[in-house]
């Protein structure tokens, strides 16, 4: 037989009933929303992991097609990657890989199309920068100088600025604009860290346009030791 509640316990029970009658529906709704949100978040995470795994598998297929040397399959696989997984990092990497493979096989249009897609659609600014630099190089090869320079306009991540200046120098030199080329090569040389291999390449270009690099002052000379003088 249950023990009767004393007066204090009865009052506490009445308070609980009153509270629940007042707020119970709201509390239940909030808990349901929280549960649904948690379930939705877990579902979204699962979807993203599944999508990434599928994109990785398709990227592996693209790599095999590149190794097989079949440009038609490369182009088709990259098209599928864009359609199904265009927002993933694998799609950006696939664009650069497909572009190189198509270029090596002489498919200039296909290569430029892949690079243009990465330059326009990539989320990562680093991949965008690489695509724009490579696209500018291909346009330079085809003597489309103005289009090449357009690819190098606008902003680039800071670490790419020396490469952009060097590529601009190449374009200006091809146009016969030696003064503009010289200015860009100087900018590139000054921005590169001392003793880097790419900086030595720019030194050769500077010598070709009549500039002794040792007369220039690197932009980072205060933070880094001066490069040794040429014998």
Residues of the chain above pLDDT 70, percent = 73
User: Does residue 230 sit within a domain?
Assistant: no
In a domain, 25, yes or no: no
Quick: pLDDT tens for 118-154.
999 988 999 999 999 999 999 999 999 999 999 999 8
Confidence category of residue 40, pLDDT binned at 50, 70, 90 = low
At 210, which CATH number? 1.25.40
Q: Does residue 43 carry a pLDDT above 90? A: no
Mean pLDDT over each residue of the chain, to the nearest integer: 82
> Residues 42, 119: one domain?
yes
DSSP the chain: -PPPP-HHHHHHHHHHHHHHHHHHHHHHHHHHHHHHHHHHHHHHHHHHHHHHHHHHHHHHHHHHHHHHT-HHHHHHHHHHHHHHHTTSHHHHHHHHHHHHHHHHTT-HHHHHHHHHHHHHH-SSHHHHHHHHHHHHHHHHHTT-HHHHHHHT-S---GGGHHHHHHHHHHHHHHTT-HHHHHHHHHHHHHHSPTT-HHHHHHHHHHHHTT--GGGS--TTTTTSPPPPPP-
Looking at the structure, tell me whether residues 195 and 158 fall in a common domain. Answer: yes
Judge if 151 and 213 occupy the same domain: yes
Q: Considering only CA atoms, which of 159, 160, 184, 156 is closest in space to residue 170?
A: 184
User: Stretch 66-70: mean pLDDT, rounded?
Assistant: 90
Half-sphere exposure of residue 44: CA atoms within 13 angstroms, side-chain side: 6
Say yes or no: 147 and 106 in one domain. no
* pLDDT score of 46 more than 60: no
> What tens digit of pLDDT does each residue of 75-130 get?
999 999 999 998 899 999 999 999 999 999 999 999 999 999 999 998 899 999 99
Domain of 150?
A: 143-219
Average pLDDT over residues 33-62: 67
Same domain? 151 vs 108: no
Confidence at 172, pLDDT banded by 50, 70, 90: very high
Q: Integer distance in angstroms from the first to the last C-alpha of the chain?
A: 107
pLDDT band for position 31 (cuts 50, 70, 90) = low
Residue 66: C-alpha distances to residues 3, 62, 88, 106 (Å):
82, 6, 20, 14
Q: How confident is the model at residue 215 (pLDDT cuts 50, 70, 90)?
A: confident
Count up the domains in the chain and report the number: 2
């Amino acid at each position: 037989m249950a023990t009767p509640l004393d007066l204090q316990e009865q009052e506490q029970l009445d308070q609980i009933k009153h509270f629940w009658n007042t707020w119970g529906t709201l509390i239940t709704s909030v808990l349901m929303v929280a549960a649904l949100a948690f379930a939705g978040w877990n579902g979204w995470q699962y979807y993203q992991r599944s999508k990434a795994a599928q994109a990785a598998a398709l990227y592996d297929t693209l790599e095999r097609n590149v190794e097989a040397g079949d440009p038609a399959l490369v182009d088709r696989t990259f098209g599928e990657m864009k359609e199904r997984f265009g927002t993933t990092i694998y799609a950006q990497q696939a664009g650069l890989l497909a572009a190189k493979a198509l270029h090596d096989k002489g498919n200039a249009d296909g290569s430029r199309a892949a690079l243009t897609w990465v330059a326009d659609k990539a989320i990562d600014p680093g991949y965008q920068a690489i695509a724009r630099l490579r696209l500018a190089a291909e346009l330079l090869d085809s003597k489309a100088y103005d289009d090449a320079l357009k690819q190098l306009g606008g902003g680039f991540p800071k670490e790419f600025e020396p490469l952009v200046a060097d590529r601009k120098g190449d374009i200006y030199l091809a146009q016969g604009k030696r003064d503009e080329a010289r200015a860009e090569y100087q900018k590139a040389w000054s921005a590169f860290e001392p003793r880097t291999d790419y900086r030595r390449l720019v030194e050769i270009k500077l010598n070709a346009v009549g500039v002794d690099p040792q007369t220039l002052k690197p932009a980072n000379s205060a933070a880094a030791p001066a490069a040794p003088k040429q014998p």
